[in-house]
Amino acid sequence: MSIQNNNAFNKRKYQISIIGCGYVGLVTGACLAKMLNDVVIIEIDLNKVEQINNLDLSIYEPGLTDILKDTIGTNLHITNDYSYVENSDIIIIAVGTPQTIDGKPDLSNLISVTKKLGIYLSKNIFENPIIVVKSTVPPGTTEKIVHPLINEITKDKNVICCSNPEFLSEGNAIYDFTHPDRIIIGSNDKFASDTLLNLYSEIACPKIITTPKTAEMIKYVSNSFLATKISFANEIGNICKKLGIDTYDVMNGVGLDHRINNYFLNSGIGFGGSCLPKDLNALINLAQINGETPYLLQSVRTVNDKQVEKILQLLRNHYPDLNNKRIAILGLAFKKDTDDIRESRAIKIIHLLLENGAIPICYDQYAKSNVQNIYPNLCCVDTFEDALISADACLIMNEGYDEKKLKDAFSLMRVPIVIEGRRTFIEKSIENVEGICW
Q: Give the C-alpha separation, 116 to 127, whole Å.
A: 19
Q: Please answer whether residues 339 and 371 qualify as being in contact, where contact means their C-beta atoms are separated by less than 8 angstroms.
A: no
**3-state SS, residue 167:** coil
Q: Which residues are within 8 A (CB) of 329 and not within 5 positions of it... i.e. 6 or more apart?
A: 346, 349, 350, 360, 361, 362, 363, 387, 394, 395, 397
- In three-state secondary structure terms, 172 is coil
Q: How far apart are CA 198 and CA 176, in angstroms?
A: 19
By the 8 A CB rule, do 421 and 396 touch? yes
Question: Which residues, listed in sequence order, are joined to residue 433 by a DSSP beta bridge?
Answer: 418
Kindly list the catalytic residues. 275
The per-residue b/e assignment along 352-391, b for 16 or more CB within 10 angstroms, e otherwise, is bbeebebbbbbbbbbbbebbeeeeeebebbeebeebbeeb
Q: How far is CA 90 from CA 133, 159, 186, 290, 410, in A?
A: 11, 11, 15, 34, 54
Sign of CA dihedral 376, 302, 59, 41: negative
* Contact criterion met (CB below 8 Å) for 25 and 94: yes
Handedness of CA 161, 110, 104, 208 (dihedral sign): positive
Q: How many CA atoms lie within 13 A of 159 on its CB side?
A: 34
Comparing CA positions, the residue from 337, 372, 369, 330 lying closest to residue 56 is 369
| CA dist., res. 216 & res. 388, Å (int) | 45
The distance from CA 361 to its chain's CA centroid, rounded to whole angstroms, is 26
Closest by alpha carbon to 229, among 300, 278, 176, 280? 300
CB 323 within 8 A of CB 290: no
Q: How far apart are CA 134 and CA 227, in angstroms?
A: 21
Spatial contact of 340 and 347, defined as CB atoms under 8 Å apart:
no
